[in-house]
Structure 1
Amino acid sequence: MLDILCATDLSPTAAAGVLFADDLASRMAGNVTLLHVLGKNERTGEGRDKAQVFMDRHASLVEHTTVTELMLEGDALATIAEEASRHAMMVCATHGPQGLRQQLFGADILKLVRKLPVPCLVVQDQSTVPARPGPVVLPVAGHENITGLLDAVVMLARAYQAPVHIFQLLRPGESPSDQLLENKKRMMLHLEEHGVSHEEIDVPGTTFSIGFAAGTIAHARKAEASCIAIMADASDEYRYMADAEKERMLTNEHGIPVLCAP
């Protein structure tokens, strides 16, 4: 049976991730595994007892399927990545770049999703589980291999019973590269082969900007999207600016969830 890993630092913000994991697992007829990597002060005695109390509270938020609690020791990044390999996907909540309780789920969130061998849905404290999911917004990516991204999009679109918007921001006076054009065709073909409804959304840029996050977020908000789907790693074409743009999407002010594919 499909199992979704939900990594948590046991903070109130992390509870948002638990709610999304519960919702997705129920839509996919799957289960949830709740993972917390114990800090140094949580491994014995009172610290561990306190962590268990918070873990149980998070587990109680899973109301639509079964949940397994898992508390492990070790390097947080490596431990989460290793455990994720045993699951279909992961869900976690980020604190954003400010006011961090735990660096890994804040400033280092991009580092975390890039380490994972499975897709990860990143949500925020203000993200709300969709009662009627909107489209999955899929920006055209410039990577050579987008198979993992497309498989993740199909999985989520089917779970949400939602269409996919293949989104491309057209910059003034600039033509898309051959790689972008080829990938757009691959996206359409892959979705057609898997019976996922989709449409092309080409948005002309009104001003020249090398970034892509703002336009993507604006469309996702207008479309009331269930999420934005991106590659975790940067493409060669936009490597020099990709980190900042991806972090901007992951921590967008509207709380739109972001699906990151390996």
Structure 2
Amino acid sequence: MKDLLCTTDLTPASDAALRKALALADRMGTRVSLLHVLGKAERTDERRAQMQAAMEKQVESIGGTGVRILLIEGDFKDVIVEESGKDRSLLVMGTHGPHGLRQSLFGADILKLVRRSHVPSFVVQAGSAVDGDLSRIVLPVAGHATIARLLDAVCTLATAHSAEVHVFQLMRPGEQPSDELLRNKLAMLQRLEQEGIAHVEANVPQAGFSVGFSGPTVEYAKSIGAGCIAIMAHASEEYRYIADAEKERILANEALVPVLCA
């Protein structure tokens, strides 16, 4: 059984990530591997032992059981990416929103990391309601050439949590959706129907004019009490010129809604 990889820098954000990872693992019938990448100052025997003890305390304080602790030296982003490829099903990370992780993981950095990950990533913030369930998932339509990995991840989480998936399309005044976007929307709806997953087709008119999509997406997720927003990690050709900034805003959204990226 593939496990969940959860990163920690021993901050409140990583506490939130571990809580969510444990909840997800319980629903998915697997276990959690908790990873801390040792900085240069932590690579002595004494400091390594201190970090081991601190991680054990973190797990104990949250009430976790069966957690495998990993202490690995190296560049923390490279190590996370490498470990994500070792028979994992999901990478769970905590951020401090716009201010990033203590180890400088924020904004463009976290977007680059979820793009490099070998598995889908689940990103939570320090204040996210991680103890809540995933009864609703917002899945924005996307104009990418392939959406298979994201759709697989959404179906896995939705099935494990008996969640309702909201296929979200922002309806822009006077704008005709691309063929790719409409094709993917149909594929999403058909897949959810085939999997027996409850779903809603949410066609939401845009209020005002803006080429951005992050604000309306987060607002809709907040309005329905969504447990996460599921987005493509990479940009589509259609919105490539704004996509990175918009995805960063979703990852660090002020509503504190967790984000699934694939």
TM-score normalized by the length of structure 2 = 0.95
Partner residue, 1:145: 146
Structure 1 residue 5 and structure 2 residue 5: aligned?
A: yes
Shift of 1:179: 0.7
Partner residue, 1:190: 191
Specify whether residues 144 and 106 from structure 1 end up closer, same or farther in structure 2 by C-alpha distance, changes over 3 A only: closer
Specify whether residues 141 and 148 from structure 1 end up closer, same or farther in structure 2 by C-alpha distance, changes over 3 A only: same
**Count of aligned residue pairs for this structure pair:** 261
Structure 1 residue 170 and structure 2 residue 171: aligned?
A: yes
Structure 1 residue 38 and structure 2 residue 38: aligned?
A: yes
RMSD: 1.6
* Structure 2 portions without partners, runs of 5+: none
Partner residue, 2:257: 256
Q: Is the 8 A contact 1:26 1:64 kept in 2?
A: no
Specify whether residues 251 and 149 from structure 1 end up closer, same or farther in structure 2 by C-alpha distance, changes over 3 A only: same
CA shift digits 1:62-88 (9 cap, x unpaired):
536521001111221121111111201
Report 1:65-214 matches (<5 A): 65-85=65-85, 86-98=87-99, 100-104=101-105, 108-214=109-215
Specify whether residues 105 and 87 from structure 1 end up closer, same or farther in structure 2 by C-alpha distance, changes over 3 A only: farther
Report 1:225-236 matches (<5 A): 225-236=226-237
Q: Quick one: distance in 1 between partners of 2:239 and 2:19? A: 34
User: Which amino acid counterpart does residue 140 of structure 1 have in structure 2?
Assistant: V
Q: Quick one: distance in 1 between partners of 2:7 and 2:198? A: 31
Percentage of pairs with the same residue: 54
Q: Quick one: distance in 2 between partners of 1:190 and 1:184? A: 10
Q: Quick one: distance in 1 between partners of 2:249 and 2:228? A: 14
TM-score normalized by the length of structure 1 = 0.95
User: Which amino acid counterpart does residue 124 of structure 1 have in structure 2?
Assistant: Q
CA shift digits 1:109-148 (9 cap, x unpaired):
1111111010111000000124443310000011101000
Shift of 1:61: 4.6
Q: Is the 8 A contact 1:110 1:232 kept in 2?
A: yes
User: Which amino acid counterpart does residue 122 of structure 2 have in structure 1?
Assistant: L
